[in-house]
Structure 1
Amino acid sequence: MGSPENQGQMVSIMNLPDVTAHDFEKVDLSQYKWIHWEARNAAEQVEMMRRVERHNRSREAGERVRTSVEVENPEALRGLRSRVRPGATLICAWAEEGADAVGPNGELLHSDAFPPETLVDTLGAGDTFNAAVIFALSEGKSLQDALTFGCQIAGRKCGIQGFDGIV
């Protein structure tokens, strides 16, 4: 788990309060290409998402902020497809089973997992997957390429302790 001083830092990080909609009002949205939420405090996050939607309505397509939300309950995905905005993409990582996505046109995509030779540390692999997929999509990669890249980078993360040297 690391040295005692790192453990103290980890505890203090884990005790940080969630960002509120009031806090989010201070964010200069023009500085961002993508904002990702982990579904936690729904009421606050809905207000934050509405702010991004208002921001996007007043911007040209190339200046709009893309958004994503992580829902960690796979059962929730079943009901989401009919509730998301047309053109949305749904992605679900399945750990050692790889990941699936339903693209804007309804096409189902899959990437196999890329497990390391030796499993070392899975802590943060899901966040690593999310970051890699968002990075690839924001760089203009196809959904299939982003899904595969996310699985590759998450697999690398599982083969090392911590995060140094993933890419």
Structure 2
Amino acid sequence: MKSSADGKKKWALLTEKPAAASGIPNEDELNAGIDFSCAVLESDIAWTPTASDTFNEKTSCQVGNSSAFGASNFDTALTFMRDYLEAGGPAVEAGDKAYQAVRVKGSEVWIYMRESDKLSTEPWEAGDIIDLGGLVRSDNPARVNNDGDIKRRVQFAPQNMIVEKAVLPGTGA
């Protein structure tokens, strides 16, 4: 059965490395992380694997070229909707928490995205598929078109990414 993509991306930002040696987080870690699903601009998400490096891998007997895949590449950038307190200043303990974690160039965080038939408001569960996630380093935030709300776009340098991996069971499972 097909499912509308509307409201189905769930995001988690961890400030500490997942405990598993595989780098795959468990459901407890993801649910304890910063859920910024309502703080990222949907129309400006770049969070996907891109074409891997390729190189010639031709044997002497082959006619024509033969290619092999090398290192994986990723396009990782997000635009954060800024959130402010009524009294003024960033809402550091609320909606602006994820942006605050990445606003300084070189900040290292672990960001994970789930896109499935579940709503973004539903918690992470063991077996959910992480579409793309892992350790990233942030670049300087860019001021983008601020028609509408105040927002900042952050480009990330992927360091250690996982693609299409299942969330591990939590410690209570």
Of Structure 1 and Structure 2, which has the larger fraction of its residues in helix? 1
Q: Which has the larger radius of gyration?
A: 2
- TM-score over 0.5 for the pair: no
TM range (shorter): under 0.3
Q: Larger RCO: Structure 1 or Structure 2 (Cα < 8 Å, ≥ 6 residues apart)?
A: 2
TM-score by length of 2: 0.22
Given the two structures, how large is their TM-score scaled by the length of structure 1? 0.22
| Structure with higher strand content | 2
